[in-house]
Structure 1
């Protein structure tokens, strides 16, 4: 049924639930798992929502975010190994999270995208946006959303 399942994670408890379901589904179907973490770029100017910070400090912060992302992905890879699921990991650096998830699924020829939804409603959803909603409406790959 599925050969490659992409699971998007942000390292949150809700995202961990999506990873767990993705792992179970991959094991059940014999699929490999692609674990993706998208990390944003640090705002480089006041107009982008960030304070003016030295370039060396920005690089240090971005390196720290990458290191934290890799730790999340390494845990997923170890969990996969423990249950016999082949896991490939990927970090995307972009402010366009939904587009990065869709692009990774296309590039990796994923059969399914699994991700969590934080379930925001009303004004919070309007103000904060919904990466999950964007993936649902723009992906050509089927999407399984967990809450």
Structure 2
């Protein structure tokens, strides 16, 4: 049914449920998995919502976020190994999370995207946005959303 599944994670508890469900589905289908974590750039101006830091400090913080993402993805790879699922990992650096998910799925020739939705509603959804909604709107691939 599916040959290559992209599982997008942000490291939250809800996202972990989507990761496990995606790995279970991959095991059932005999599919391989691309585990993806999008790491935002550190804001570099007051307009982006940050105190001004020198470039060295901003780079150090971004490297720390990247290391945390790699640790998270290595854990997913280990879960996949337990389920006999081939998992490759990818960290993408971008402030455009949904676009990065859709682009990576296309680039890696995936046939399904698995991700979580935090289920925000009303004003909270309007203010915070919804990366999942954006992926659903812009992806030409099937998207499995777990809550």
RMSD: 0.5
Measured in 2, the distance between the counterparts of 1:37 and 1:141 equals 19
Name the SS of the counterpart of 1:42 in structure 2.
Answer: coil
Measured in 2, the distance between the counterparts of 1:5 and 1:110 equals 5
Name the SS of the counterpart of 1:28 in structure 2.
Answer: helix
TM-fit CA distance, 1:89: 0.2
Name the SS of the counterpart of 1:24 in structure 2.
Answer: helix
Measured in 2, the distance between the counterparts of 1:47 and 1:16 equals 32
Name the SS of the counterpart of 2:23 in structure 1.
Answer: helix
Residue 99 (1) aligns with residue 99 (2) = yes
TM-fit CA distance, 1:48: 1.3
Residue 89 (1) aligns with residue 97 (2) = no
Measured in 1, the distance between the counterparts of 2:112 and 2:79 equals 20
Measured in 2, the distance between the counterparts of 1:44 and 1:144 equals 34
Length-normalised TM-score, structure 1: 0.99
What's the CA shift string for 1:23-59, capped at 9, x where partnerless? 0000000000110000100011111111110111001
Q: Which runs of 5+ in 1 are unaligned?
A: none
What's the CA shift string for 1:37-95, capped at 9, x where partnerless? 00100011111111110111001100000000000000000111111000010000000
In the alignment of these two chains, the number of paired residues is 147
Length-normalised TM-score, structure 2: 0.99
2:24–2:83 CA contact under 8 A, matched in 1: no
